[in-house]
Chains A and B, each alone.
Chain A
Amino acid sequence: MKTTTMTLCASVLLALAVPVQAAGDPKAGQLKTSMCAGCHGIPGWRTAYPSVYSVPKLGGQHADYIVAALKAYKEGERSHPSMKGIAGSLSEQDMEDLAAYYASSYSGPAN
């Protein structure tokens, strides 16, 4: 009985303590960054005329937010020509993987 209670308590605590993670895989995401890195991976890169501003940094951003942003671009709720095109070509799994990669500290296979 005591063991059961303790196990139950431990499970509840764990469930509370572990943050909800997007189902993405950082390693899979790293392999899908070719379309992102040309802008988001270049220091000081800016968007094209007529609306010129620095593209956002993605490193360390919340995965959930990145997925939401990509979906908003895909569905046209957020407008940017290149992001609409790129997000439109991504599956939901691609989005989750890319978001997990940028949110994580994983930066690619050691060579």
Chain B
Amino acid sequence: MKKYQYLLAGTALGFALSVSLPAHASGNYEAGKAKSTPCAGCHGADGVSTVPSFPKLAGQNSDYLYHALKDYKAGKRKNPIMAGQVEALSDTDMQDLATFFSKQQGLYLKY
């Protein structure tokens, strides 16, 4: 009976964790780093842009970055510079870039 309770508690904890943890795009960090050179010109080498009109990417949620890139590519989000940049990116490229920038130090959750 006790064993069953532990099992139940473990399952509940696992479920709670899977719900609360942010979803991460399953990109490759090193591949993303290698592909990030064109981004650095505006967003900074580590995603900490020094130009106020260009957003910082460092530390941003990876699935948000991936979503933003996909929206630019689909034309749902419009920006002349970004439209050109994403044109040649594959789905894998976008996931890799999102993963790389999400793991840099910069943005933080602010209440």
Number of chain A residues close to chain B: CB under 8 A: 31
CB within 8 Å of B: which A93-111 residues: 102, 107
Within the complex, the shortest CB–CB distance from A16 to chain B, in Å, comes to 15
Q: List 26 A-B contacts (CB under 8 A).
A: A20-B52, A22-B52, A40-B109, A43-B20, A43-B109, A44-B21, A44-B22, A46-B22, A46-B23, A54-B64, A55-B61, A57-B61, A57-B107, A57-B108, A57-B109, A59-B108, A60-B108, A60-B110, A61-B56, A61-B107, A62-B49, A62-B52, A62-B55, A62-B56, A65-B52, A65-B54
For A1, list chain B residues within 8 Å (CB). none
Within the complex, the shortest CB–CB distance from B100 to chain A, in Å, comes to 16
For the complex, give the distance between the alpha carbons of A40 and B111 in Å: 7
Within the complex, the shortest CB–CB distance from B59 to chain A, in Å, comes to 7
B interface bracket (residues with beta carbon within 8 Å of A): 20 to 34
For the complex, give the distance between the alpha carbons of A62 and B111 in Å: 16
* Known contacts A62-B52, A62-B56; A54/B109 CB under 8 A: no
CB within 8 Å of B: which A5-33 residues: 19-20, 22, 33
Closest-by-CB residue of A relative to B68 is: A56
Within the complex, the shortest CB–CB distance from A31 to chain B, in Å, comes to 13
Instruction: Contact check, A54 vs B22: say whether CB atoms are below 8 A apart.
Output: yes
For A22, list chain B residues within 8 Å (CB). 52
Instruction: Contact check, A62 vs B110: say whether CB atoms are below 8 A apart.
Output: no
- A-B residue pair count with CB separations less than 8 angstroms: 82
Instruction: Contact check, A57 vs B22: say whether CB atoms are below 8 A apart.
Output: no
Instruction: Contact check, A54 vs B63: say whether CB atoms are below 8 A apart.
Output: yes
Instruction: Contact check, A41 vs B63: say whether CB atoms are below 8 A apart.
Output: no
For the complex, give the distance between the alpha carbons of A41 and B109 in Å: 6
B2 within 8 A of partner (CB): no
For A68, list chain B residues within 8 Å (CB). 53
Instruction: Contact check, B20 vs A57: say whether CB atoms are below 8 A apart.
Output: no
